[in-house]
Amino acid sequence: MSIFNSITILIILSAAFAFINTKFLKLPFTIGLMIIAIVFTVGITILGSINHYVLDEAKLLIQSIDFETALLDVMLSFLLFAGALHTNLDGLKKHKAPIALFATIGVLLSTFLIGTMMYCVFLAFSYPISYIYCLLFGALISPTDPIAVLGILKDAHAPKKLETKIVGESLFNDGVGVVVFIVLFKIAQQGLDSMSVTDVGLLFLEEVAGGIILGLVAGWGAFRLMKVIDNYETEVIITLALVMGISALAHYLHVSGPLAVVVAGIFLGNKAPTIAWSKNTHTYVDKFWELIDVILNAVLFVLIGLELLVVSMNGKYILFGLIAIPLALLARYIALSGPVAFFKGKLDFIPNTNLIMTWGGIRGGISIALALSLSPHMERELFLTITYVIVVFSIIFQGLTIGPLVKKVLKDSKVG
């Protein structure tokens, strides 16, 4: 199947599912689309048991789309930039210390907690898995997905100071999580003996620091170009070129593209509107990236639902996935506890911030894409199934209940 035909089918399905959700279900956009996509996929599977041609064609469509490449190398940069462009820097500055700890120490601690707990679970079921592969799973499931978080929090009407922490953490921790995954992946491939602690530290620093520097330099360059002109068509194209150029350059320089795009988006979104953009340009740039965000989100969550066709339905794998759900939540709660406790007296934290941030830490497409990038000998099918179970639970159940949880916590705190 050609790339054009694959994209056409995905867009048609996204439009149809969006219409059904908007007209009938009226669920939050991303959650509704994914639920409909899963129901559609189950329907295709049932129909496929009667007519194998239908199921074979559906699987051919999904297998023709490289989900890992489509998300990590193409869609992620656009989605992160769209989110970062509308992130208020003043709010981030006030909470920069806890956000930095959440996105770094939090991800590292969560990686080792999840990896260690899953290693013990596998041993308990007499299903031994190499510890390094368990850590790889911990790394790919620890970052929260900013794409899912941004959309769901808008519908949850969370307080601004809480939203800033969760969104700020999500924008940065996926970049850090990808870097941790890359480091562990290289260790798993080459062996621990081939990489010293210094090598690991330098690789981590190169990816993170390099990504931040690239984002600042590229964002500043685009800002300077737009400052000397006043033409909204050209300035929209410059923002598009900025995102695509950063992605390509980050890949060439071996630095973190997601971090670079986030930094450039935050820089441009906070500096350009008051200095470089006219009111007309600001409106067009905002609307353009809002549409990009909506369209790519629709396609992404439909894709996540359709990925059910290629996920192994092995009963033991699904059981491990169900066990991993509370373990992943527990690991996130513990990883966030230190920073929350440390900054609680210094910053204005709402009651039960840790609980809300744990439940509001939605896992999404990034985790599935990283699971798909595992080699077969790294227990790819096992970890892909576990990841899919966690992601579906996270987006549907956590996504639908985070709003009521926030309201209940705020109500109880006022009563108290």
pLDDT tens for 246-294 read: 999 999 999 999 999 999 999 999 999 999 999 999 999 999 999 999 9
> Which pLDDT band, with edges at 50, 70 and 90, does 139 fall under?
very high
The token pair at 94 is: 């006030």
Largest CA distance in the chain: 66
Q: Helix (H, G, I), strand (E, B), or coil: what is residue 56?
A: helix
- Tens digits of residue pLDDT in 220-235: 999 999 999 999 999 9
Q: Is 334 exposed, middle or buried (0-12, 13-18, 19+ CB in 10 A)?
A: middle
Cα(165)–Cα(75) distance, integer angstroms? 24
**What is the CATH topology of the domain spanning 3-196+298-415?**
Na+/H+ antiporter like fold (1.20.1530)
> Which pLDDT band, with edges at 50, 70 and 90, does 92 fall under?
confident
- Tens digits of residue pLDDT in 154-212: 666 677 777 788 888 888 988 889 889 988 998 898 876 667 778 888 888 899 999 99
DSSP state of 377: G
Q: Which residue has the tokens 């705190």?
A: 413
Global pTM reads 0.93
What residue spans define the domains of the chain?
3-196+298-415
